[in-house]
Structures are given as C-alpha cells and as structure tokens.
Amino acid sequence: MSIDKSNRGFLSKAFKLTGAVALLTASVVLPACSNSTEVAEDPIEAAEENNVTAEEVTGSVEDYIGQTVTVREEAEELVGEYAFLLDEDQLFGGERILVINASGEGLTLVEGEGTDVQVTGEVREFVLADVEQEYDLELEPDLFGDYEEQPVIIAQSLALAPDPDDINERPEDYYGKRIAVEGEVDLVMSDNVITLDEEVLFGEEDLLVVSPDTAIAYPQGEEVVVTGTLRPFVYAEFDRDYELTWDIELQQEVEAEYESRPVFVADEIYPSAL
C-alpha cells in the first residue's frame, strides 16, 4: 500500500520492532487527541442502546450520521497522527471511512496498517475547523481536505480486535494493550471471574476473564464482548494491583490452571451484537 509522503515521517518514527516468539511485528502508536468537550453519555452504553454494529452498517455511511456505531475492521491506512481509514470491504456498503481518535488514549497497532480494531463513536459530518476546536487538534489541511463535509467516525472508544489465533500464538504482542474479544461465557467461577468458551477463542485453551471492579452479570452461554488488557497471570501481582478478595478455593483453582498464562483484565463487558 502506498503511503502519502506527508505520513512517512510519522510512520518512520512510530514503527518499532517488538519480539514475539519467533516473529517480529511492527508496532505503531496512534496518539489520542484530547477532548475539550463533555461527552453526554458513555460511548459503550450508547453503542448498546443504538445497537448499530458492523453486521448492520451495510447501507450508505450518510444514513448513520448522528448515530453511535460499533465496528470491527482493519485500520487500513494512517492519516496523520490522530486518524486512520477503516478498510472498506465490509463497512457502509464498501465505502472507506475516516476515524478520528478522540478516546483520550493512544492506540498501538501491533501489525501496523492491517491491524484489526474495534471502534465505538459517533458518525458525523467532518468539518476540519470544528473538529480542531472541539478536540484541541491541529490537523493538516493537505491531509484532511478531501474529507471535508464527508462522514467520519469520532471514536470515543478504541481497542485492538485481534483474531484469537493471533493472541494465542503471540500473547506478548498484546500484553498491556487495550483489546476487545468476543466470545461465549463458559464457566462462571465467581462474581468477578469467568472463562470464555475455548472453542470460540483459543482452540484447546480457554480464556480467563477477571473483572476487578465490577461484578459480571452474564450467565453461562451468553455471547459477550469484553474490552480490557491482557497480562500474564501471577497471583501475587494481581492481588497487589487489584486487591482480590478471592476465597482460598478459587485462588488455588485459578493458580493451578492459569499461572503465567494470558489472562484478560476486563474494564467493560457487554452483550455482543457483532
């Protein structure tokens, strides 16, 4: 894929090599822009209410202006420091769409362009001056001029959305990064600990999900999307960081099964509509 010359400086600085098993993959950090306006509602809750998701956004993108959508697709091309284009193959009837990162957090693209991401945000008409003012940005007119008055997504929530095989083969690539996974609740081990179905996610391995701050309200068999961070399980570190209140039976069971394996620390869990 050709990259605009004005983007090459950013890419040359942002790409770095990280070791993972027997592979080396490029890592691109997409900075977050600061949001100078108050967000009226939580973007995840808005997405749940509106329930406009990747499988449904098949019409023209103009049909979704003013709506909050959640889509999972490849970040196809970076545009400056704060934006990227989503691959058009499955979205909005085959139209590419620009995403502006207004999440308040940076996004690391572990495979560079071509990394799958999950985006939640409002579809709106892009007016460069308005977006610069609202989100305290300096956008280059020569990069964004073609998008003036075109529909864009202003992302309030961003996460990597890797294939399960990617996580299973190269968990180190995803440690400490915000990711989103979809799966079926398999075991409910406590109010704050579940596993996601291994057939959906990791072949012969299931995925332990720990929700330190919020009780998990979803029963066995529920299809859910979980966002959060992946980290290797070491009980002493988890207890230090999250002040676990597990009983001894749960502690011993989790330690025996998951010690040093990838474990998902959830910050959001909600029903899947993807």
Q: Count H helices, E strands: the chain?
A: 7, 14
Across 161-204, the runs of DSSP E, i.e. the strands, are 178-190, 193-196
Strands across the sheet containing 23-30? 16-20, 23-30, 107-109
Q: CB of 140 within 8 A of CB of 9? A: no
- SS3 category, 245: coil
Give, in words, the CATH class of 5-160. Answer: mainly beta
- What are 73-126's pLDDT values in tens digits? 888 888 988 899 887 666 666 677 899 998 877 777 776 667 889 898 999 999
pTM tops 0.75: no
- Helix/strand/coil percentages in the chain, nearest 5: 25, 40, 40
Instruction: Please tell me the total number of residues recorded for the chain in this structure.
Output: 274
Give residue 166's pLDDT band: very low, low, confident or very high (50, 70, 90): confident
Domains 5-160 and 165-271 share a fold: yes
Write out the two tokens for 51. Answer: 């329930």
- pLDDT, position 235: 95
Q: Tell me which CATH homologous superfamily contains domain 165-271.
A: Nucleic acid-binding proteins (2.40.50.140)
Amino acid 248: pLDDT:
96
Spans of all domains in the chain: 5-160, 165-271
> CA-CA distance, 41 to 103, in Å (whole number)?
13
